[in-house]
Homo-oligomer: A and B are copies of this chain.
Amino acid sequence: METRHAEHGCLFIIGGDEGAKARKRLLSRFVDLAGGSDKRFLLIDAASQTPEKMARPYHEALDELGVRDHRSLAVCCRADANDADIAAQAAEADGILMTGGDQKRLLAAIGGTALDQAIHAALKERGACIAGTSAGASAMSGHMLGGGHVELSPERGAVTLAAGLGLVQQVVIDQHFAQRQRLNRLLSVIAQNPWLQGAGIDENTALVVERGVGIEVVGEGSVTLVDGKDVISDIADIREGCTPQMLGVRLHLLPAGSCFMLPDAPAPRRISGDARKAPAVLTEFIHHLVKRNPIS
């Protein structure tokens, strides 16, 4: 098994709703990204109100994949998340998976704690793979989708942001994307925050982010990237609940198999070696996804 390199820490961002088969396939890649089945794996299930039930199928899948060292971190509250032993377990993990539930519940428990710092340290200093599915995926954003639902059109004020873990800083992650028709939700965020970018991940699909290198899409669906950098919008002038005019949204659809690296990146170690150099229209977006940030 290839040795992990600290500089190639990676994220594995899953769009949720894995059936047993899809879960095993995705977790197989997660295990590879973390360095193999002999490595140390942790589950963080604090996003869920029923954490044991939520974590069980992931432990079963890891068992089936031959992983021996996997456990759930016992984190119910901020006191747990500030416990030195808990934090040390995370800092020493090779693969950390945050389950679904409610990303606000997760952040309320671990945001800014010793555990939060340890997750970043594992990524930065040990090249760990940090994975999240559903709520655990959204939680990776610095500006995290807090909630809100829109029906047919984007709306001003309908979708809220909250402070997330900041494993990616300028990209707002949404999940269950095609299945729950969430493009309008992401557009609502981008209209208000055009310097942020949106990444919508379909169910049973994952976005692999190799730090400093590039991205790959794996699984059954697609990842939709929404870039509002050049958007002209009237959002500041309309009332809450109204639909903003949005001119010049850029949208990229990356089905599974898509794999791009930054033009000046070192050779990929985590994403596929078949990665193509990203065309100019994608470069800035990928740069935002793969760059190190103030914390990690």
Contact = CB atoms under 8 A, between A and B. Distances in A.
A242 to B, nearest CB: 7
B247 A153 contact: no
A246 interface: yes
A250 interface: yes
Nearest to A178: B152
A243 to B, nearest CB: 4
Contact of A253 (B244, B253, B258, B279): B244
A257 B242 CA distance: 12
Nearest to A187: B253
A281 B244 contact: no
A255 B232 contact: no
A219 interface: no
A187, A221, A243, A247: which has the most chain B beta carbons within 10 Å?
A: A247
Nearest to A202: B152
A245 B255 contact: yes
Given A153-B221, A202-B152, A245 B253 contact: yes
Interface of A: 152-154, 178-179, 181, 183, 187, 202, 221-222, 230, 232, 242-255, 257-258, 279, 281-282
Q: Which 6 A-B pairs have the closest CB atoms?
A: A152-B178, A243-B255, A248-B281, A246-B253, A249-B251, A247-B252
